[in-house]
Structure 1
Amino acid sequence: MFANFAGIQALSASTGIEVKGALVGLGLGKLNKSAYSNNNALVGVFGRAHNAASDPAPAYGGYFIGLKANGFFYNVKVITQTTTSHTVSGSEDYISCYNTELLQLYLPTSNRHPGRIIYVKRINGLVRVYGNGVNLMLHNQGSSVEVADGDCWMFVFDGSYWCAQKLIR
């Protein structure tokens, strides 16, 4: 599908906002959260990609130059009290750690494209984050970092390292 003329009014006139688009997806309908799973969603536009090449270039469900988002929602993973080890999946962006024992948290090996961002928030017990085959870069490189109680860290993959930054509370 190719559209090259932004002539479709995307919002109703009653909003007072004029937005025109070449492709417009309006996800109007009814879907109960409990119908199938907790991951149900009603969306206007959905994208998913997979590159099966032997030496794959990154695959993205969407690619935008100059993205404007009026509301942004991270995919959150909640670590339970009894969890002691977890590997971050390709779809987890914000990790809330409620563990009560030492949690060994491994950053992902798949979906590790430059620009990938993961946040880790410690709420209870000790959290130790590992680069999982890639060194972490703080002021110097290392293989792990401990997250202090109440702290949140941001990890950005730059193509070589997981750049680790403690966020200010």
Structure 2
Amino acid sequence: MVSLTVNGTAHEVDADLDTPLLYVLRDELGLHGAKYGCGLGQCGACTVIVGGEAVLSCVTPLVALEGKSVTTVEGLGTIEAPGPLQAAFIAEQAAQCGYCIPGMMMRAQALLQRDPGASADAIREHMEPNLCRCGTHMRILAAINRAAEEMRGAGARASTDTRAG
């Protein structure tokens, strides 16, 4: 048994310790946002966040996750209340086939959590490991920049609100 927290919910997973996180998420926990792309950690479709870092879940064994916190695209928001990054991807129409989008969102989320002021060049560099075969990279980058601006604005509004009180 391995204990891990996924999207804020604690789980005890009874699976072989060498099982990739991707299979646990999809088969054991019913979370289908992370996609199986290449199975080799080369495309990024399976990207999730573990301990604040973007991780390729297809090559991350369950044994490496004992007691750790995992966030998947399902943890960013809902259809009714999308998170800032999800809303930006919708507004920018960043998905064509959509297969890579959950991984793209998770890699971007990891960066923006750490650095909401990331420059366009820093965003482009950070996103390099994730592939989009449809070629919507420009819309994806526009969505991430839009979310970064929104997150910076929300942070500025929050600090202004606390000083006003």
Task: Name the structure where helix makes up a greater proportion of residues.
Answer: 2
Task: Name the structure where strand makes up a greater proportion of residues.
Answer: 1
Task: Provide the TM-score with structure 2 as the length reference.
Answer: 0.25
Task: Provide the TM-score with structure 1 as the length reference.
Answer: 0.25
Compare relative contact order (CA 8 Å, sep 6+) and give the higher one, 1 or 2: 2
